[in-house]
Structure 1
Amino acid sequence: MRAIWKGAVSFGLVSVPVKLYSATESKDISFRQVHAKDGGRIKYQRICSLDGEEVAYADIAKGYETEDGEMVILDESDMADLPATSSREISVEKFVPSEQIDPLLFEKSYYLEPEKTGAKPYALLRQALLDADRMALVTVSLRNRMSLAVLRVRDDVIVMQTMMWPDEVRSPDFGSVDVEDAKPAEVKMATMLVETLAGDFDPDEFEDDYREAVEALVKAKIEGGEIKAAPAAKKTGGEVVDLLAALQRSVDAAKTARGETPEPANPAKKTASSSAKKSVAQEKVKKTAKKATKKAAKKAS
């Protein structure tokens, strides 16, 4: 594994230098959108919804949409004024009973590995958490934003789990759970069912059937020769057409600004004009060739 962050756990006057590792990884099957005919990947452009133009990354800003649909644009100077921190400290705020932390608040999990100089205080913190049966409620700066998290022990390793802020947890605002009390006989039967299915959790008993089925399907298609090697994407005339259209719009806008009326687009007229220009050019070449022949004949005589 590769460490993604380095810092120190601070509690009281004790500081534990640590490295941070992602404790989980997603193995969900992901698909690409492709052209069914040839397997070519589908590309997407950054198109402005107002003028229909493609927007360069340099021209993209952050926008905050209000409840009434208005858009507030924030530039880099606005973002620089926001509270942010790049502290390398995992600061312990308090040690709380484990049962007080609702698992619904947990987000992402990380392993904490001690640096060589922090091995002893690391072991001290780990043992203290185990003996007290508590979690350390901490604040930590990740990606320049302050986050709430907890430290707990798993398999002799201290794990940090980032948490959602309390106001990010929604209330179950629906009335379908307000049912009448169950009858004693029904409760007894439900309890018997729970006891019948009781057991210990063994993660090795469970597997992702969907992922394995997709991988088997893909493998079978590869072995059966059902695979397409999509050719490298080629530039098409569409880019030129878009450029010409953009230039035409620019010309029209300039004429409008001068009070002139833009000429309507007429493909047939453009074709005829192009043919006429080509004919004029060919006539000029012929005349030039005749003049050169006459000059050469005079010199020879």
Structure 2
Amino acid sequence: MTTTVLRYAAFTTDPDGGNKAGVVPDATGLTDEQMLAIAAELGYSETAFLTAEPAAGPSATDPTAAGADRAFRVRYFAPTLEVPFCGHATVAAAVAVAEASGPGELRFETRAGSVPVTVTAGPDGVLRATLTSVEPRVWTPEDGDVDRALALLGWSADDLDPALPPRYAYAGARHLVLAARTRERLAALAYDFDALAAFMTERELITLQLVWRASAAVFHVRDPFPVGGVVEDPATGAAAAAFGAYLRDLGETGAAPGAGAELTLHQGEDLGSPGLLRVTLRAGDPRVRVTGAAVRLPD
């Protein structure tokens, strides 16, 4: 069986920027072991595997074909494990579908739940995908968790921004949010890979969401991802969604209490692979929307 694997850079329009993702547009018949092997061989932080929903239309064997039902089962594999949800691979997969069958509304059924995705084409012809997260949660870390994470990062409590206290946040995957007091602290990232991976595995964390606030609604972020076999994720949509929920929970969105907000996250600059993530919070809707472009890479 020949499996088609597409390659994209997500949260960018530059093939040299953003976060690379694999997309398998038809994963029908692939075993877990085969999907993990494909993701490991590709080496990107995640690869998305799509299969048509049982109610798919006349093109059930190719869910990206024109006329196919635009609802998909999606699974996400890092080089070392399956994750419940991945934002940048969702953006890449949605753009892949739109390139084959046109922009519009999609539905991705993931291990974390149902994720609506809207793909639009801008005046510049660039396709951008907006995912709507599952309902998020934010909670206070257990005693000792923050101290342990800081020690593994080589940070101290004085390195943290007191206005943005540590929290666990979830919007499809779990993340520990730690806000740096300075941009220099965020830039100087070095950590014990194996020890941090062990800590994160114990806490069922996908990444650490390390952030620095440049202004009320603009942030620079970095995401260590050792549990996936990757030192750092260059642009992390799932963490961006969780971070939006975190800021709303703290009342730190830069908007009036209860109002919607638009946030801009810059990620990947310290890796030489800049990406841009837009986070939208709507009044009265607990879910978080994350928007980004994606560009296909040469085969």
Q: TM-score range by the shorter chain?
A: under 0.3
Select the structure of larger CA radius of gyration: 1
- Higher RCO (C-alpha under 8 Å, 6+ residues apart): 2
Whichever structure has more helix as a proportion of its residues is: 1
Q: Which has the higher strand share?
A: 2
TM-score, normalised relative to structure 1: 0.20
